[in-house]
Chains A and B, each alone.
Chain A
Amino acid sequence: MTADAFLFWFLAITTIAGGITVVSVANPIYAALSLAFTMVSVAAVFVTLEAYFVAGVQLIVYAGAVMVLFVMVLMLFDLKHELEAFARGKVSGAIKLLTAGLLGGLLIGAIAYSPEGSKIAVGANQVAVAGDPTKNLGYRLFTQHIFAFEALGVLLLVIAVGAVALSRSKGGTHGQR
């Protein structure tokens, strides 16, 4: 077993474990922490796929900012008890599991039977992208996709304004006064 293979399998296990934990624990704080763990694991997967910049961004933005936001909001709520963490109804629950399972099964089947996936380019091809991948990324982003990039900026501005506007409603988050 090569190092790549071992790394992949290890990271796959941790990612999946983290994901399962997110979905199955009742306490939302535990779920948030577990999600952060999954994000880190996914960043590591990005590293094995040689998307170094994206891995960095994943850590900074997702694990760093988004998850902090989640945890902060959860703290705000101060939920002492969690009534009914999971949806009621055994039959509908079973159908939901079945749906997700079928979807997964179909996709995996499609993956298994397509010719695309027989690309096992490992190692040798990794420097096929000429030059530094991060430099390339930056180059492409600021020339070919400049419009979308700028639009993203506008979007973020709008989001900021919107978030502020939404939180201006009356009422506090801790008890009645």
Chain B
Amino acid sequence: MSQTALISLLLASPFIGFLINGFRRKHHSGNVAGAIASVAVFISFLCSIALWIELQGLPKDARSILVNFGSWISVGGLNVNFGFLVDQLSSLMILIITGVGFLIHLFSIGYMHHDPGVAKYFAYLNFFIFNMLVLVLGDSLVTLFVGWEGVGLASYLLIGFWFTDKDKASAGMKAFITNRIGDAAFLIGMFIFFTSFGTLNIQELNALAPTIAESTWYGIITLGTLFLFIGATGKSAQIPLYVWLPDAMAGPTPVSALIHAATMVTAGVYMIVRMNPLFLAAPNTMLVIAVIGALTVIIAASIGIVQNDIKKVLAYSTVSQLGYMFLACGVGAFTAAFFHLMTHAFFKALMFLGSGSVIHAMHEEQDIRKMGGLKKYLPWTHLTFMIGWLAIIGTPGFSGFFSKDEILWLSWHSPLGHWSLWGLGVLGATMTAFYMTRLMALTFWGESRVPKSTHPHESSPIMLIPLFVLAALSVVGGYVGIPHVIGAILPGHPENILANWLGPIIRPIPGITEAEASTEWTLMGISVGLALISSLTAYTLYTKKQELVRAMTEKIRPVYELVYKKYLVDEFYFGFIINPLVRISENIWAYIDVRFIDKCTFWAGDLIKGGGSFVRSLQNGNLQQYAMYIGLGLVLTLTFVMMR
């Protein structure tokens, strides 16, 4: 199949699935709708594999396939095509999107089986996949932005899927509006780049990026990348626009797995990795990215420690892990960021699906204080969830270890990094280990606090198979990115395959030096050791010593309350931003719209009516007046003629 046909099929397949399920949205058969949607995504997955194999055949420095479906905007100096670029980075991304997406579609068939709006659900899921593919494959920032907006829309539709519940609908709105604020910043970034470089094509922008870094805070590239980054904080839930992600757990759990763990939230990271030459030329922006990433890691992890809803813990964990990816980007470790994106997609989707399985078994109960000891009721769910847990806490040998350690090492070692960033990262890793172990302990281990009326049972095979596949990937997925220092001691000296693959399109960090292996081992040891200690502590506390936990919580009650209430950030936004805006809008409506603009429209109407009445009065039946008008007309015409 030709490359154009492959890419067309890749994009068309989920879109057609969306249309079919959309037109069939009143049908209640979950199996048919799910089958259509899953097949659509599977076709895309096969196309992704085919495209990846095609790329293997190309030489290393020209490894990209660009398909142009025609010109879209050609105005002034702006030329945007319907162009799609498959290169080293996007090929991996579409594999992840379609692969993990397919597994989640399979899971949804089982999970959403009894929902009346199941066809609509699958239509939205396919729509999401289509837009994510457009985002990833777009060869221009404009096309990327189209996909960016599309996934935002799909996210809103899916979060507020059960829209009859007002809270769930509000959660959807919150997600969309917060995203929109980020999108406005993204647009400003695009404007800045267009005015200074004259193009929005990604390859051209990257080629035009200077190799000498800007040092000022108000340089064009710094400002542009800063605004693009603010857009990324909206989409990828970083400080200050992360508030929508925990609320987004109101949507169905497979949605949380797909959109808010594996794919949509990674769009911001993807965008930054894509545009890495531009970001490397703006070290001040990189500093901001790194600091915000590190802070997000800590703050989100701290909130996650005290949450009692299984999905909320995972949501804050996602925000925290995204912080790691941004930290990596901020210190120039783009390959490490993408690596973590990939491994995180595997184990976070796994854990979300696992939690879906738990919720399904517990008949929609999500409070982990009412769970416990589910190990014996849900053995397979427990096994796969445990693999995910081991991956996320950074157990050596699992995927999460390789990616997270790479990030921590480079945040110390990179010239753009700093030991304080490493310190925050290690602290975050410790907290991650703590709250994930807490989650495991309260959900699966220890004594059962499950109410007698609920009879938890294992999920159906269609829900278990994706769990197995993702669990396998969480184990082996890390081996594509074995860091050099570990590879050196292993038999066969495996290389960092991922780094080699992505090498040509990711610029190296300027000024990076060769590292001492011993430093790297030490740092690795510290982080692994601390993670181990913290998980053991959590395990002990939450399986055996719950009274101690309660006592400690009571002692630091005010602090606990603050963290539990998410540091009152939402209240702050509502109080200082949203409510004032609403008040201003109400005033504008009352004073300007009602009193002034409506008056103007009435005035216009009255004017017409008055004019009409006046003209009507001219026709009064008085013959002599008509003759006078004729005479006046004659005089005017003569005057006009004689004036010439």
B526 at the interface (CB under 8 A from A): no
How distant is A104 from chain B, measured CB to nearest CB, in Å?
10
> When each residue 84-118 of chain A gets 1 if its CB lies under 8 Å from chain B and 0 otherwise, what string results?
00010000100110011011001101100000000
How distant is B623 from chain A, measured CB to nearest CB, in Å?
10
Q: Check B631–A96 contact: CB distance below 8 A.
A: yes
- Residues of A near B642 (CB, < 8 A) are 106, 109-110
Q: Check A106–B628 contact: CB distance below 8 A.
A: no
Among all A-B residue pairs, the 3 with the closest Cβ atoms: A99-B631, A102-B635, A106-B638
> When each residue 61-103 of chain A gets 1 if its CB lies under 8 Å from chain B and 0 otherwise, what string results?
0000000000000000000000000010000100110011011
- Residues of B near A103 (CB, < 8 A) are 631, 634-635, 638
CA–CA, A107 and B625, complex, Å = 22
Q: A92-B625, A107-B638, A110-B638 are in contact. List 11 more A-B contacts (CB 8 A).
A: A92-B628, A95-B628, A95-B632, A96-B624, A99-B628, A99-B631, A99-B632, A103-B631, A103-B634, A103-B635, A106-B639
Q: Check B628–A96 contact: CB distance below 8 A.
A: yes
- Residues of B near A106 (CB, < 8 A) are 635, 638-639, 642
Q: Check B631–A100 contact: CB distance below 8 A.
A: yes
Majority DSSP secondary structure for residues of A touching B: helix
How distant is A89 from chain B, measured CB to nearest CB, in Å?
9
CA–CA, A96 and B634, complex, Å = 13
Number of A residues, CB within 8 Å of B: 12
Q: Enumerate 25 A-B pairs (CB-CB under 8 Å) in ascending A order.
A: A87-B624, A92-B625, A92-B628, A95-B628, A95-B632, A96-B624, A96-B628, A96-B631, A99-B631, A99-B632, A99-B635, A100-B631, A102-B635, A103-B631, A103-B634, A103-B635, A103-B638, A106-B635, A106-B638, A106-B639, A106-B642, A107-B638, A109-B642, A110-B638, A110-B642
Q: A107-149: which have CB < 8 Å to B?
A: 107, 109-110
In the complex, residue of chain A having the shortest beta-carbon distance to the beta carbon of B637: A106
In the complex, residue of chain A having the shortest beta-carbon distance to the beta carbon of B625: A92
Q: B604-644: which have CB < 8 Å to A?
A: 624-625, 628, 631-632, 634-635, 638-639, 642
> When each residue 332-376 of chain B gets 1 if its CB lies under 8 Å from chain A and 0 otherwise, what string results?
000000000000000000000000000000000000000000000
The winner among B631, B635, B639 for most chain A CB atoms within 10 A is B635
The winner among A106, A107, A110 for most chain B CB atoms within 10 A is A106
CA–CA, A102 and B635, complex, Å = 7
- Residues of A near B632 (CB, < 8 A) are 95, 99
In the complex, residue of chain B having the shortest beta-carbon distance to the beta carbon of A110: B642
- Residues of A near B625 (CB, < 8 A) are 92
How distant is B547 from chain A, measured CB to nearest CB, in Å?
104
